[in-house]
Amino acid sequence: MTFHEHTDEETAEHNLPSKSSGSTRRLALVAVVNFLGFVIELAGGLLFGSVALISDALHMLFDMLAYAMAFGASYTAERFEGGEAWSYGLHRLEPVAAFLNGVLLLPMVGYIVWESYQRFLEPVAINPELTLIIATGGLLVNIGSVYVLQGGEMSLNERGAFYHLLGDAGGSVAVIVSTAAVAVFDLPIADPVAAVLIGLLVLASAGNVLRESTSILLERSPVSSEELRDELTTLDGVDQIEDLHVWQVCSQLTVATVRLTDTATTLEEQRRIQSRVHDHLTDRGIDHATVELVGRADPNTDPVGTPNHSH
């Protein structure tokens, strides 16, 4: 016979637990702060002729757009409870927004490299003192934003924002170093070199975000299915695993379906086996699982006459 049970609590919905409101607030704050930093750095870059500062400002702009998209996705997912047509709510918006953020970074890299190439051909004099002041302010903005986001478990969008911020901080450092080189050693080529380095940092950020979001969208298993299968077969009462699938709806909701044969002879034994499987899946970071047990249990031997199919 077959014993089929969901491993969530009986009243649980297929929605993500409400644990991302803090994430939404942090993303909104970082978006506002980085927009202000973008305006200041862009104005300084245009006034003082620094392509590195303009590149860093554009990096901040695209990051701000990324944070705004992440905020919108998180805010919407939190407030949409789902229904028959959307049983997992709109939590899938998280990896979609992260993927779009990664794609948006790619044209910015092209612009930075092209503008730097033009400066290699025709170096432009910059105002190193004022550029240095603005770049230092940009670095302080990045450090403050990193402080807001860091700590605890981060969602995919927060990790994406964190990668962006690290790239921003590295870009600000590159601007500071290149500006100092221009001021001390009279090396105008240092400015476009710094811009290219910023472009490489942006490209690395895009790669990280695209890799993680694509893994979720294409339903790549976040754990080793082979290892999990081997672990489950060692549990008392489990005979063999017939079918196992693990995937993520978003970075904070991992789902699994398991079909296994067991050695139980009563429904009560099957429930104990199911509980052991549930506990192990929970320990492996799986938030919602459907476990189907196929074995020798006879419903007539169940001492309490409990139905053999429950959710």
Q: Are residues 121 and 256 in the same domain?
A: no
Helix, strand, coil shares of the chain, percent, nearest 5, are 65, 10, 25
**Higher-pLDDT residue of 178, 254:** 254
Q: Are 48 and 127 in contact (CB under 8 A)?
A: yes
Q: Are residues 117 and 138 in the same domain?
A: yes
Q: Are residues 94 and 163 in the same domain?
A: yes
Q: Are 49 and 124 in contact (CB under 8 A)?
A: yes
Give domain status of residue 286, yes or no: yes
Token output for 92: 């899938």
Domain tally, the chain: 2
Q: Are residues 196 and 245 in the same domain?
A: no
Q: Are residues 121 and 173 in the same domain?
A: yes
* Residue where one domain finishes, among candidates 198, 217, 236: 217
- Range(s) of the domain holding residue 287: 221-301
Q: Are residues 211 and 264 in the same domain?
A: no
* Residue where one domain finishes, among candidates 201, 217, 233: 217
| Secondary structure class of 238 (helix, strand, coil) | strand
- CATH label of the domain that carries residue 196: 1.20.1510.10
Measured CA to CA, the distance from residue 187 to residue 4 in angstroms comes to 71
Question: For all residues of the chain together, what is the average pLDDT?
Answer: 80
Q: Are residues 42 and 177 in the same domain?
A: yes
Tens-digit pLDDT profile for residues 269-306: 999 999 999 999 999 999 999 999 987 555 555 443 33
Give domain status of residue 267, yes or no: yes
Q: Are residues 35 and 98 in the same domain?
A: yes
pLDDT at 236 over 80: yes
Range 238-246 average pLDDT: 94
Tens-digit pLDDT profile for residues 174-215: 888 888 888 888 888 888 888 888 888 778 878 888 998 999
**Could you give the strand order of the β-sheet that contains 288-294, starting from the edge strand earlier in sequence?**
2-6, 288-294, 253-262, 238-250
Q: State residue 266's pLDDT score.
A: 87
- CATH label of the domain that carries residue 248: 3.30.70.1350
Measuring CA to CA, how many Å separate 291 from each of 79, 86, 285, 287?
Answer: 29, 22, 16, 13
Q: Are residues 276 and 209 in the same domain?
A: no
Instruction: Please state the length of the chain.
Output: 311
Q: State residue 194's pLDDT score.
A: 83
Give domain status of residue 14, yes or no: no
Give domain status of residue 5, yes or no: no
Give domain status of residue 6, yes or no: no
Tokens 């970071």: give the residue.
Answer: 285
* Residue where one domain finishes, among candidates 217, 237, 255: 217
What does the DSSP 8-state code read for residue 153? Answer: P
Q: State residue 7's pLDDT score.
A: 45
Q: Are residues 33 and 58 in the same domain?
A: yes
Q: State residue 308's pLDDT score.
A: 39
Q: State residue 20's pLDDT score.
A: 53
Q: Are residues 178 and 230 in the same domain?
A: no
Range 224-245 average pLDDT: 93
Closest CA to 99 of 254, 221, 217: 217
pLDDT at 124 over 50: yes
Q: Are residues 184 and 240 in the same domain?
A: no
Range 80-100 average pLDDT: 81
Radius of gyration of the chain (CA): 26
Closest CA to 273 of 233, 244, 228: 233
